[in-house]
Amino acid sequence: MRFHLPLFLLTTLACSQAADPAARASNTIILDETAVKNLRIETAVAEETTFEETVFALGRIDVLPGRRAVVSSRITGRALEVLLKPDHAVEKGAAALVVESRQPGNPPPSVTLAAPLTGLVSRLEVVTGEPVEPGEALAEIVDLTDVYARARVPDHLAGELRAGQPARITVPAVPGRTFEATLEHFGAEADAETGTIEAAFRVANPDLILRPGMRAEFSIVTGRRENVFAIPQSAVQGDASNRFVFVKDFELPNAFLRTPVVTGKTNDRLVEIVSGLFPADEVVVTGAYPLSFVGGSTLSLKEALDAAHGHEHAADGSELTDAEKNAPAPASPEAGSQSPFWMIVSGILFAALVVVGLKKTGSRHAQ
């Protein structure tokens, strides 16, 4: 992934705000306003909060028990008229099909079959003119105003589940939405092949956006702990052996300090921080991942601090001592010495003049 940062400025900084200046300079990233905007950087304050212990599971959306019905005929005949349309809504009691009986008559007697419930036509198994037999499922209607979200929980975690526990459910097909529900049904038996047990949640679906068969992800809350120091999950970067976050510099604008952290438990939203941060630290929660790849500095930490504070700093970003402030500026290369190139050229020209002078002197003596 590449990011176009037209005017970004970079240096590196230490692993904590209290580290020595040289180390701090090796772990700080300094950006300009354009880079901050391009990376869409947002921060959040690290603080103590109520931390929820969760169990994660995968599953599917299903029809709620009792919310599925079929249309069938009690008589033998043929479909004289099919009034249902696949995937369309139908009201309970509305005409669904007209079946013409095989009994004699001119015309033969017919029966109108009604929709058994309000919902969507999920299956239609008959077309006009097709023979109809008693007991055949001619159509299926489902009511999706409430659905079942069925999680397949690893059976070794089953002991942590209880009816009534809340859960946050996300569905990849519906990005940006989280559905709240409580555990209604817990499986009586585990699936020996998959090593999972079912946990089902009744989810309100008034806009009918959830459909049977959709994949779902579950974060089932099994407990809570108070006063846990935690930050949003998106702030933590790196792998299991090298976790770090970007902390907003407390004095330098648009500067972010790469800070190692030790993490504890994680849920679907937060990560517990065991060490590495202090209360009120601002951590990058949006843009942290691309920030890890920013490089190519055009401004040093010294230059950035000079511009921010209005006075000079040492090369490592530390404050200058009185002796350093009063020390005379080092002589420029032009004033104090010549470059090696010009010294060589000057030597060659001098030697050439000496040779020419000797030749002229020799020719005079010969005359």
Domain chopping of the chain, boundaries: 21-51+226-301, 56-63+145-222, 68-142
| Fold held by 68-142 | OB fold (Dihydrolipoamide Acetyltransferase, E2P) (2.40.50)
pLDDT at 10: 32
pLDDT at 88: 96
pLDDT at 335: 44
Q: What integer best gives the mean pLDDT of the chain? A: 83
Whether the predicted pLDDT of 17 surpasses 60: no
pLDDT at 151: 96
pLDDT at 328: 66
Q: What does pTM read for this prediction?
A: 0.66
Segment 274-292 shows an average pLDDT of 92
Whether the predicted pLDDT of 302 surpasses 80: no
Q: pLDDT tier at 315 (50, 70, 90 boundaries)? A: low
Whether the predicted pLDDT of 213 surpasses 70: yes
pLDDT at 13: 34
Q: Which CATH class is domain 56-63+145-222?
A: mainly beta
Greatest alpha-carbon span in the chain: 153
pLDDT at 47: 93
Whether the predicted pLDDT of 178 surpasses 90: yes
Segment 48-73 shows an average pLDDT of 95
Kindly tell me the burial class for residue 115, based on how many C-beta atoms sit within 10 Å of its own C-beta (0-12, 13-18, 19 or more).
buried
Q: End-to-end alpha-carbon separation of the chain, Å?
A: 83
* Three-state secondary structure call for residue 121: strand
Q: pLDDT tier at 150 (50, 70, 90 boundaries)? A: very high
Segment 237-258 shows an average pLDDT of 90
Q: How far is CA 275 from the centre of its chain?
A: 24
Q: pLDDT tier at 241 (50, 70, 90 boundaries)? A: confident
- Strand residues in 162-311 grouped as ranges (E): 166-170, 179-191, 196-204, 215-232, 244-248, 255-260, 262-266, 270-275, 282-286
pLDDT at 330: 56
Q: Which CATH class is domain 21-51+226-301?
A: mainly beta
Segment 332-341 shows an average pLDDT of 50
